[in-house]
């Protein structure tokens, strides 16, 4: 899953796209029903009118509509859209291509340009034909086709937010870390606001490490974040007929899920873990793909420090990946409201959680509320958050029995 390109079965880094392009960010899904919409006569007609309309792929067919006015997303619709995306992932196994879509929309950011939307970033511009035709984005029209029915259903969610929501949900549903995402991204209004081609990374440049730094430093990311984001290549496959990379089929991909074929970076290519780093380091399986930009992670001295660490410590990889993914998805975006919208806040986030270990050492000063819970615990023998009624009544019965015994003894 090359990070910024791919189609129905790619992955997230050195772009393994659906055409001859070799982009570093190539991810692709595994749905067999997706075909390039560009082959449709109606889509071909849309290409001719790209400057005036955006591509819309709905469940009822293809068509053109005028670009919508930019607006912030509705929190309730974001939550509902996320549930629909989860169902889509369960039925289509399209985790890789949805991650790739989000990364390619965000990965055009240029920190040296201040003005929005000229600076690029996650702004929904990838829905327009002119940007979809960039070589690194080959096949991403399939991802747009998958998400368009959800966009049609939830008009209060911007394309920019939908693309990032889909990518984040795909990571989490594949077993990856919970991502600290925020929403409220504003969409660009027309194709004239799309970035020029050439801002996304390649999979096989002459100097892979230098190329990765050139692209990611331009976005304001560092070596640690480059390596962490590369780890998303644990998902997806590359297909030689689409990207020029990989084998037509391996023992890991011949049966799908989804359309069979292609070459994956990992054995379980729909599971998000740190096996990508382990497999690159070992280089023992010829059926697993290693692109030049993958190999650079263990060849470049600075990259190697992080790659080695992630191969040994999945928890550290998950932590660093979550931070890097969220940072990438925010760079260059214009938020309304400016602070963004968080849809995962827990209503009890500020409450002090009862943990027995907190008062087992005697070394920590407890809050008054915690002391009251402990006293309640000691009084009835149950959990302070949920007293054990059976212990409570048992204590009463014991007291009554003791009193009866004492009364009997005194009476005698």
Residue 260 domain flag: yes
Query: What is the predicted pLDDT for the residue at 26?
Result: 56
Residue 265 domain flag: yes
Per-residue pLDDT at 350 exceeds 70: no
Residue 139 domain flag: yes
Residue 167: CATH number of its domain:
1.10.520.10
One domain for residues 240 and 277: yes
Per-residue pLDDT at 367 exceeds 80: no
Percentage of the chain exceeding pLDDT 90: 59
Query: What is the predicted pLDDT for the residue at 345?
Result: 62
One domain for residues 151 and 250: no
Query: What is the predicted pLDDT for the residue at 139?
Result: 86
CA angle 57, 58, 59 (to 5 degrees): 135
Query: What is the predicted pLDDT for the residue at 138?
Result: 85
Residue 351 domain flag: no
One domain for residues 214 and 186: no
One domain for residues 105 and 160: yes
Rg (CA), the chain: 27
* pLDDT tens per residue across span 59-86: 443 343 444 444 579 999 999 999 999 9
One domain for residues 259 and 295: yes
One domain for residues 218 and 188: no
Residue 9 domain flag: no
Residue 16 domain flag: no
Q: Write out the DSSP string of 325-372.
A: HHHHHHTT--BSSTT-B-S---TTTTSPPP-GGGGTSS-SPPPHHHHH
One domain for residues 284 and 373: no
Residue 256: CATH number of its domain:
1.10.420.10
CA angle 386, 391, 393 (to 5 degrees): 110
One domain for residues 138 and 222: no
* pLDDT tens per residue across span 7-63: 333 434 344 433 334 455 555 544 433 333 433 433 333 333 444 445 555 444 334
* pLDDT tens per residue across span 124-139: 999 999 999 998 898 8
Query: What is the predicted pLDDT for the residue at 197?
Result: 95
Per-residue pLDDT at 170 exceeds 90: yes
Beta partners for 4? 25
> Which of the 8 DSSP states describes residue 74?
P
Per-residue pLDDT at 340 exceeds 60: yes
Query: What is the predicted pLDDT for the residue at 6?
Result: 39
Q: Write out the DSSP string of 244-263.
A: S-S-S--TTTTT-SSS---E
Show the domain range for 395: 364-410
Identify the domain boundary among 290, 322, 354: 322
Residue 376 domain flag: yes
Identify the domain boundary among 193, 221, 250: 193
Mean pLDDT of the chain: 79
Q: Domain count of the chain?
A: 3
How many Cα atoms occupy the beta-carbon half-sphere of 92 within 13 Å?
26
One domain for residues 188 and 79: yes
Q: Within its chain, how far is the Cα of 192 from the centroid?
A: 28
Per-residue pLDDT at 346 exceeds 90: no
Residue 38 domain flag: no
Query: What is the predicted pLDDT for the residue at 8?
Result: 37
One domain for residues 169 and 137: yes
240 falls in which pLDDT band (50, 70, 90)? confident
Per-residue pLDDT at 356 exceeds 80: no
Looking at residues 211-231, what average pLDDT do you find? 97
Identify the domain boundary among 160, 193, 226: 193
Query: What is the β-pairing status of strands 61-65 and 54-58?
Result: antiparallel
Active-site amino acid positions: 104
Say how many C-beta atoms besides its own lie within 10 A of residue 222's C-beta: 14
* pLDDT tens per residue across span 241-287: 767 788 999 999 998 887 789 999 999 999 999 999 999 999 989 99
One domain for residues 286 and 257: yes
One domain for residues 261 and 313: yes
Looking at residues 151-159, what average pLDDT do you find? 97
Peptide bond preceding 337 in cis form (omega within 30 of 0):
yes
Query: What is the predicted pLDDT for the residue at 88?
Result: 97
């Amino acid at each position: 899953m090359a990070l910024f390109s791919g189609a129905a079965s790619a992955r997230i880094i050195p772009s393994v796209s659906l055409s001859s392009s070799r982009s570093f960010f190539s991810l692709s899904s595994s749905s067999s029903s997706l075909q390039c919409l560009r082959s449709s006569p109606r889509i071909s007609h849309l290409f001719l009118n790209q400057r005036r309309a955006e591509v819309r792929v709905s469940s009822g067919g293809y068509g053109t509509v005028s670009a919508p006015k930019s607006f912030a997303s509705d929190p309730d619709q974001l939550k509902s859209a996320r549930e629909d995306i989860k169902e889509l992932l369960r039925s289509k196994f399209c985790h890789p291509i949805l991650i790739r879509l989000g990364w390619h929309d965000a990965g055009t950011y240029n920190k040296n340009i201040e003005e929005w939307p000229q600076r690029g970033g996650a702004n929904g511009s990838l829905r327009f034909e002119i940007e979809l035709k960039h070589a690194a984005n080959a096949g991403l029209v399939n991802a747009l086709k998958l998400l368009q029915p959800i966009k049609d259903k939830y008009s209060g969610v911007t394309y920019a937010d939908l693309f990032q929501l889909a990518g984040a949900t795909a990571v989490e549903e594949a077993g990856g870390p919970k991502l600290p995402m925020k929403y409220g991204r504003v969409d660009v209004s027309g194709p004239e606001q799309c970035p020029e081609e050439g801002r996304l990374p390649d999979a096989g440049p002459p100097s892979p490490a230098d190329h990765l730094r050139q692209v990611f430093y331009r976005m304001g990311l560092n070596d640690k974040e480059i390596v962490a984001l590369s780890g998303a290549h644990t998902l997806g496959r590359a297909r030689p007929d689409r990207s020029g990379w990989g084998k037509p089929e391996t023992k890991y991909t011949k049966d799908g899920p989804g359309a069979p074929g292609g070459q994956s970076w990992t054995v379980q290519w729909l599971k998000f873990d740190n096996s990508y780093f382990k497999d690159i380091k070992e280089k023992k399986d010829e059926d697993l793909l290693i692109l030049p930009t993958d190999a650079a992670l263990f060849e470049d001295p600075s990259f190697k420090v992080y790659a080695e660490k992630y191969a040994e410590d999945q928890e550290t990889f998950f932590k660093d990946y979550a931070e890097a993914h969220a940072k990438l998805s925010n760079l260059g975006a214009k938020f309304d409201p400016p602070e963004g919208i968080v849809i995962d806040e827990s209503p009890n986030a500020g409450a002090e959680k009862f943990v027995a270990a907190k008062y087992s050492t005697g070394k920590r000063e407890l809050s008054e509320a915690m002391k009251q819970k402990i006293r309640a615990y000691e009084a009835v023998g149950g959990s302070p958050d949920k007293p054990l009624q059976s212990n409570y009544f048992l204590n009463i019965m014991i007291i009554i029995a003791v009193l009866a015994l004492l009364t009997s003894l005194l009476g005698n």
